[in-house]
Amino acid sequence: MVFTIRKLLALTLAFATWVGAIEQVALKQSERPNIVFILTDDQDLHMDSLDYMPLLKKHIIDHGTFYKSHYCSTAICCPSRVTLWTGRNAHNTNVTDVFPPYGGYPKFVAQGFNEDWLPLWLQDAGYSTYYTGKLFNSHTVENWNSPHPSGWTSSDFLLDPYTYSYLNATFQRNEHPPVSHEGEYSTDVLAGKALTDEIVSYNDEFYRARLQSLQAVDELVEGVISRLDGYGILDNTYVIYTTDNGYHISQHRLAPGKECGFEEDINIPLVIRGPGVPIGEADIVSAHTDLAPTILKLAGGDYKKPDLDGSPIPLNKKDITRAKIERQEHVNVEFWGRSLPEGIYKFSLDDGKIVAYGSNNTYKALRVVGKEYNIYYSVWCTNEHELYDLTADPHQINNIHPSISSSSELPKIFRLPPSKVLPRLDALLMVTKSCRGATCVDPWSVLHPRGDIKTLADAMRVEFDDFYASTAEKVSFDKCELGYILESEGPQALVNFDEWKEEDL
């Protein structure tokens, strides 16, 4: 009898608090892999946080592929985590906030996902699952059992409102009532040291404290690897390291926080090691919607379920090479609600006003990363627009949307004026903002049903100029809402190229 250990272990780490995992032990002759998923809270890629995790480098980066163009589609915890565990964009989960009514664990349950998400699919595929750490916001000492999160063979959840009480974490194991660990869960993370009156030096300290808190995560990575090694199953285990959303401190003159569509907030770490995963870096576009299909595929599950908004991330040399040519170049980015400035200084608006929450932070956006272009386009609920050419302007300082830029000579995006590129981007955003399943993976096929257009470059052909001029910039909002209120989200109907041509004749 061959004994194979097959597990998915997910660890979520809320900075020095660690959470989340899936585990199992099963006996089967087939060598299906184990899957360990480590998820941090709010980890940036753009302020070099990974440089301060030598053990992550030693055990995962140096043994696997670093996906440099990986994105979260909604830059805040709960919506991002629900996307990750359901494989659907937030506009298809309608979990768009961290608190009810628009988000949090109760909204996740109300939307029916507690009966239809990755841990259950993995159990259907024959896996045992184990989770420890923070699952979702608003998963609390009050509602932990109404209902209990489904799909986990075993679990140990960190519950609100004590999720960030580093000296008083409250854990809830399997079906047992919550237990508080007063005084046990000490980290040196939030020791209130060296605060100065200067915001910049405060933010520097904030930055350092984040890196210090990450040291515990880094050591956890080593602990996981050496345990897997000790069990003799490391060679048949995939270890996936990522975070729920990115983070900014001072960039774009913003107080510490996330919730924006800037690279700092959405382009996040993803590193995977495992059987057949090459060592190196991959510059292919992937997003959190792709992780559920990726894990399902590894587990031999149904990764082509029609409601999954992503596709498996290639994990071997051949598939990565092919993906460089064939894989999608867009990421759907979306956000609802407010922005929450973190730290002590809160949000300092231009008028110097301190506010607890930034309002009107609802937007739809697109990242498009092609061979000849690197673009971010967003439409806010106030109908303000942003357009950044990241090739020329990698830090997104210069908004070249015609409504903003007073210059008569607008910078060109891959040698064309924004007036040609924008209608295409807007039409693509029209599709991605409400796409579902396959249309999220291949949104161009909605605009060009014949399937001949796969990229922005393809869509730039002159023969489509009139069509795109006719669709021009439809993405708009009627109102700023705190959640996904369809009636406030402007036009929804789309005309494709073939229909438009027929009307034209």
**Residues of this chain that bind ligand NAG (CB under 6 A):** 94, 101-102, 141, 162, 168, 170, 178, 180, 182, 359-360, 381-382, 479-480, 483-486
Q: Which residues pair with 169 in a beta bridge?
A: 181
446-449 contacts: CB < 8 A, separation 24 or more? 446/494, 446/496, 447/494, 447/496, 447/497, 448/496, 448/497, 448/498, 449/496, 449/497, 449/498
In the complex, what is the shortest distance from the CB of residue 484 to ligand NAG, in angstroms, rounded to a whole number?
Answer: 4
Q: Do residues 77 and 101 touch, judged by C-beta distance below 8 A?
A: no
Cβ atoms of 35 and 299 closer than 8 Å: yes
Least distance from C-beta 111 to ligand NAG, angstroms?
8
| 493 or 505: CB nearest ligand NAG | 493
For ligand NAG, give the closer residue by CB, 363 or 467. Answer: 363
> From the CB of 353, what's the least distance to ligand NAG, in Å?
10
Complex with ligand NAG: residue 193 or 353, whichever CB lies closer:
353
The minimum distance between CB 179 and ligand NAG, in angstroms, equals 7
Contact indicator for 282, 248 with CB cutoff of 8 Å: no
- Tell me whether strands 330-335 and 347-348 are parallel, antiparallel or unpaired: unpaired
| Residue 462, helix vs strand vs coil | helix
Q: How far apart are CA 412 and CA 460, in angstroms?
A: 14
User: Taking the complex as a whole, how short is the minimal distance between the CB of residue 70 and ligand NAG, in angstroms?
Assistant: 27
Structure tokens at 302: 């149904």
Nearer of residues 207 and 347 to ligand NAG, judged by Cβ? 347
Answer whether 64's CB lies under 8 Å from 221's CB. Answer: no
Task: Give how far Cα 210 sits from Cα of 72, 204, 240, 268, 494, Å.
Answer: 20, 10, 21, 15, 44
Please say which residue, 231 or 357, places its beta carbon nearer to ligand NAG. 357
Q: Which CB atom, from 37 or from 185, has the smaller least distance to ligand NAG?
A: 185
When the beta carbons of 25 and 485 are compared against ligand NAG, the nearer one is 485
Q: Which is nearer to ligand NAG, 300 or 483 (CB)?
A: 483
CB of 242 to ligand NAG, least distance (A): 26
**Closer residue to ligand NAG (CB): 39 or 379:** 379
Per-residue DSSP letter, 277: P
Q: In the complex, which residue's CB is closest to ligand NAG?
A: 180
Measured distance CA(310)–CA(187) in Å, rounded: 37
- Identify whether the C-beta of residue 253 lies closer than 8 Å to the C-beta of residue 358: no
Residue among 369 and 381 whose Cβ is closer to ligand NAG? 381
- Residues 343 and 203 sit within 8 Å (Cβ to Cβ): yes
Task: Please name which of 14, 10, 4 lies closest in space to residue 23, comparing C-alpha atoms.
Answer: 10
**Separation between Cα atoms, residue 156 and residue 178, nearest integer Å:** 9
Contacts of 146 (CB under 8 A, 6+ apart): none
